[in-house]
Each structure stands twice: as structure tokens, then as C-alpha cells.
Amino acid sequence: MLKDFEHFNNDANFFNKFLNITMKEGLILSVSYDVFIEKIKNLLLNYIEEDCFYLTNKNDEYIILSLVISEISKSVRYKLSNELFSLLNSTGYFISQAVDEMGNKIDLKTLTPSKGGDVFVYFNKKFDIPMNTPDILYHVTTKKIYDEKIKRIGIVPKTQKMVSEDLDRIYLTDNINKAHDFCIEKRYFIKKKYNNKAQKYNIDVDNWVILSVDIKSINQIKLYKDTKMDNSYYTFENIPVYSIRVEKYINF
């Protein structure tokens, strides 16, 4: 029933509620690299011989398509390009680079290099998360940062510069208890770094928030497992406001 429907964040404004729902409904998840290679191979074989192309999976990071352009007519290249973009839309991939043998960019509409030779097309996933990742992950920050920045612009790497050693990445966990522990550890680290003078540097270390992040509502996010910590992930992508809600306030 519609009356029983619950938004991800009931405290959000109508616009952000709408965006959260819309992004999840319209999102095309990226197929696996093996499936993508099989689909693109079948497409190519409809137009050219197998010895005219070569597909390489680079450690499940990206796919390279090598094309022997001299063996492919201009009319076939044009048809192939059109179908290729249709395939990308349905599989959740994009072309990150397309170059000739000299590294010069090529015309993707005709797959034509500037001075002949082979063509190399690089494909990346739009949406890439480790298998078995929960739909909801948690992120911790100070209440001050949440109120002054995250509520307006979402979570971006630069908003996390609470200490100079922080890297430009956003850390997440799939365990809310781990998130709570991280608040304690982070607070201790900041207090020690500033020798109990955090207030002097306008850093409020006593009020924190645990934020829930709706991963499946973020288009084109790339998420990585943090091998140094259990239950941990990180991303270099911005996390939009409509994918965030406050899960818990923590006061020390």
C-alpha cells in the first residue's frame, strides 16, 4: 500500500526523497566483466572476423578492445559504433578512452584513427561494487561537518580533512558497531594530535553522527574493499545528499 511506503530518509525534503527513488529505479547495474566480454564479442562477430579484434580483461579493472581497422570497411565501422553504444547503455559500461597506435584520440562515431593503424578502445564499469556488499553502508563524521557541509553538498573527500594525514577518499563500513568504534578512535586521534586543543582549531570532537548511505541509489559509484580493515570499504566518488540519512547521533 502507498500509505505504508517508507522513504530512505523521511527527514529529507521532497526533492531529495524523489531523487533517491528515481535514481534507484533508473539505475542500470554493470554486468560482470566476463558477461560484457561475451556480449561485445558476439556483437563484433556479427560484422567482422574474429582475427580482426582482440579483447583483454585487465585484472577486472577495465576491458581493452583492439581493432584492426584496415580490415574493416567504413560502413561497417559506422554500424558497429552505433550498436556498440547501445550495448554500453544496456550493460552499464562506458568508454573511458579510445586511441590509435600513437595514443591519439579517435572519432568514436566512425572508429577512425587519424593516421591509420589499429584502434584501442577502453571500457570501464559505470557501477562497480564488490560482490555481496550490503545495500546500506555507514560513514562517521563530526556533527559539525555534517551540519555545515554534508547536509548541503553530500559527502565529498575534501570534507573529511579533519586531520592532515587523511587521504582524499571516503571510508565506509557495513557494521554499525564498527562505525561507533571508529568514532571513538577518531576522537582519540584528533585530541592527541591537537594536544587537547581541538577547540582552538574549530574542531568539535565531542559530537558525532553515524550516517547511513544508500549505495544502490548512487549512479556510477566505484567502491573498493579496504584490505587493511574488516567490514570496511572506500570510494573516491562523491556521495550525494539524497543517498544519506542520519542513523545515530553520538555525544561524548
146 contacts 211 by C-beta, under 8 angstroms? yes
The answer to whether residue 7 is domain-embedded is no
Residue 139 phi/psi, 5° resolution? -135, 140
Confidence of residue 196 (pLDDT cuts 50, 70, 90): low
Confidence of residue 72 (pLDDT cuts 50, 70, 90): confident
Confidence of residue 161 (pLDDT cuts 50, 70, 90): very low
The answer to whether residue 24 is domain-embedded is no
Amino acid 17: pLDDT: 79
Would the pLDDT of 200 be above 60? no
Q: How far apart are CA 225 and CA 130, in angstroms?
A: 7
Confidence of residue 199 (pLDDT cuts 50, 70, 90): low
Average pLDDT across the chain, whole number: 84
- Among 107, 31, 8, 111, which residue's Cα sits nearest to residue 69? 111
Residue with cell 587537547: 196
Amino acid 189: pLDDT: 80
The answer to whether residue 241 is domain-embedded is yes
Amino acid 4: pLDDT: 52
Would the pLDDT of 33 be above 50? yes
Q: Do residues 116 and 140 both lie within one domain? A: no
Phi-psi category of 111—alpha, beta or left, where left has phi over 0 and alpha has psi -120 to 50? left
> Tell me: the pLDDT tens digits for 75-93?
888 888 899 999 998 898 9
Confidence of residue 43 (pLDDT cuts 50, 70, 90): very high
Would the pLDDT of 64 be above 90? yes
Q: How far apart are CA 163 and CA 188, in angstroms?
A: 12
- CATH at residue 94: 3.90.1150
Confidence of residue 162 (pLDDT cuts 50, 70, 90): very low
117 contacts 102 by C-beta, under 8 angstroms? yes
Helices 33-45 and 74-91 pack at an angle, to 10 degrees, of 150
Residues 6+ away with beta carbon under 8 Å from 181 = none
State which residues form the domain around 115.
33-125
The answer to whether residue 47 is domain-embedded is yes
Q: How far apart are CA 196 and CA 219, in angstroms?
A: 40
Q: How far apart are CA 204 and CA 31, in angstroms?
A: 43
Q: Do residues 140 and 113 both lie within one domain? A: no
pTM: 0.73
**CA gyration radius, the chain:** 23
216 contacts 186 by C-beta, under 8 angstroms? no
- Among 123, 210, 203, 218, which residue's Cα sits nearest to residue 174? 210
Q: Which of 81, 100, 125 is the last residue of a domain?
A: 125
Residue 46: alpha-carbon gap to chain centroid: 32
The answer to whether residue 2 is domain-embedded is no
> What one-letter code names the amino acid at 238?
N
Q: Which of 90, 125, 160 is the last residue of a domain?
A: 125
Q: Which of 106, 125, 144 is the last residue of a domain?
A: 125
Number of domains in the chain: 2
The answer to whether residue 20 is domain-embedded is no
Confidence of residue 35 (pLDDT cuts 50, 70, 90): very high
Q: Do residues 80 and 105 both lie within one domain? A: yes
8's grid cell: 530512505
Confidence of residue 202 (pLDDT cuts 50, 70, 90): low
Q: Is 178 exposed, middle or buried (0-12, 13-18, 19+ CB in 10 A)?
A: middle
- CATH at residue 243: 3.20.170
The answer to whether residue 166 is domain-embedded is yes
